Amino acid sequence: MSFLNEIEPMKEAALAELRKALDLSSLEQSKGSWVGPNGKFTALMKQLGSLSKEERPSAGKLINAAKAALEAALAARREELELKAALPKEPTDFTLPGRRRALGKLHPLTQVTDDTVRAFRKIGFAVADGPEIEDEYHCFDALNTPADHPARDSQDTFYLAKPTNPQLPSANSQLLRTHTSSVQIRVMEKQPPPIRIIVPGRVYRRDNADATHNPTFHQIEGLYVDKNVTVGDLKGTVEFVFKELMGGDVKIRFRPHYFSYTEPSYEIDFTNALVKKMGKDWLEIAGCGMVHPQVFENVGYNPEIWTGWAFGFGIERIAMLRYGINDIRLFYENDVRFLKQF
């Protein structure tokens, strides 16, 4: 067979073999056996030199065309095989259940706060806010609690060594607020009556942590100022909100108490099936009263015209009752096993 006649069948054989390669390594092997240094096609090309001058150009042309065809077939097959290698080994089962991402939850204290806010919004209360780093005036003095008042003892707190606000007079130290009642003053200083607000927020006391105390906890304050406001309004509002929060079987009662910023003052006792189950008749749950005339004087409201009531309660207390939690410290440990139960 002449040299020229050998090119075409060899090309066809090589192409067939390359196209048949089942994986990348056998493709590389076939490539070597045809166009590698010792390949059959390479050997054919080497013979080009022994051809006569007349035969050489057309043989060269044919060989180059065959070589280009081989390279194209090689590249195409390589791409197919690479794609095949990248596919999953096992067939995909689209009926398998998906992998779900675990959803987070709102902290139980956040849930109780949100529910309380929702209940008060229904009856026209707005949410107000104030600083956790408070000054002595707003936390105590303006609430009719001067420096020598015994109530300062039970609400001892953390004082800042250096004021963050250098404009404050030195007699007015900065401290971590002991209650949200300071926000009553801040709101009344800024706006004229009528006022209908609640204030959820974090408060601080110099308390040792135990099952029912923590140096940081949360309160919700309420303040209502208008003309002709009565204790009846206070009682009706509190009863409505606790029923919304804890269910229809809730009963509340007012007991006389003392707070320096209200007159008269009461403590609110609460009961429902849960309280009875704990073996108790009543549980003390909040403080409240009619806003003291001196407090109105302190914010520039005329106590002859304006009347109002205020209350404050601890959010942890409500959450512990609602969810049957027996240690307040559990709220702050961020243990997911605890938190995911609520």
User: Binding of ligand DAH at residue 108 (CB under 6 A)?
Assistant: no
Using CB under 6 A as the binding rule, the residues of this chain from 149 to 188 that contact ligand DAH are: 179, 181
Kindly state the DSSP code that residue 288 receives in the 8-state scheme.
E
Using CB under 6 A as the binding rule, the residues of this chain from 263 to 292 that contact ligand DAH are: 287-289
- Residue 262 or 271: the one with the smaller Cβ distance to ligand DAH is 262
User: Binding of ligand DAH at residue 193 (CB under 6 A)?
Assistant: no
User: Binding of ligand DAH at residue 259 (CB under 6 A)?
Assistant: yes
Decide: 152 and 145 in contact? Cβ < 8 Å: yes
User: Binding of ligand DAH at residue 308 (CB under 6 A)?
Assistant: no
Counting residues that bind ligand DAH (by CB under 6 A) gives: 11
* Least distance CB 181 / ligand DAH (angstroms): 4
User: Binding of ligand DAH at residue 317 (CB under 6 A)?
Assistant: no
Decide: residue 279, CB within 10 A, 0-12 exposed, 13-18 middle, 19+ buried: exposed
**Interface stretch with ligand DAH, choices 51-59, 163-171, 305-313, 328-336 (CB under 6 A):** 305-313
Q: What is the dihedral of CA 144, 146, 149, 153, to 10 degrees?
A: 100
Which residue in 210, 202, 21, 191 sits closest to 113, CA to CA?
202
User: Binding of ligand DAH at residue 237 (CB under 6 A)?
Assistant: no
User: Binding of ligand DAH at residue 315 (CB under 6 A)?
Assistant: no
| Cα 2 from Cα 207, distance rounded (Å) | 107
* Least distance CB 262 / ligand DAH (angstroms): 4
User: Binding of ligand DAH at residue 200 (CB under 6 A)?
Assistant: no
Q: Is the dihedral of CA 272, 322, 328, 315 positive or negative?
A: negative
Which residue in 218, 178, 221 sits closest to 198, CA to CA?
221
Token readout for 16 is 């067939």
- Residue 98 or 150: the one with the smaller Cβ distance to ligand DAH is 150
* Least distance CB 250 / ligand DAH (angstroms): 20
User: Binding of ligand DAH at residue 221 (CB under 6 A)?
Assistant: yes
User: Binding of ligand DAH at residue 312 (CB under 6 A)?
Assistant: yes
Which residue in 325, 333, 340, 331 sits closest to 202, CA to CA?
331
Using CB under 6 A as the binding rule, the residues of this chain from 54 to 73 that contact ligand DAH are: none
DSSP strand pairing (251-257 vs 283-291): unpaired
Residue partners of 213: CB distance under 8 A and separation at least 6 = 207, 328
Contact residues for ligand DAH (CB under 6 A)?
Answer: 179, 181, 221, 259, 262, 287-289, 310-312
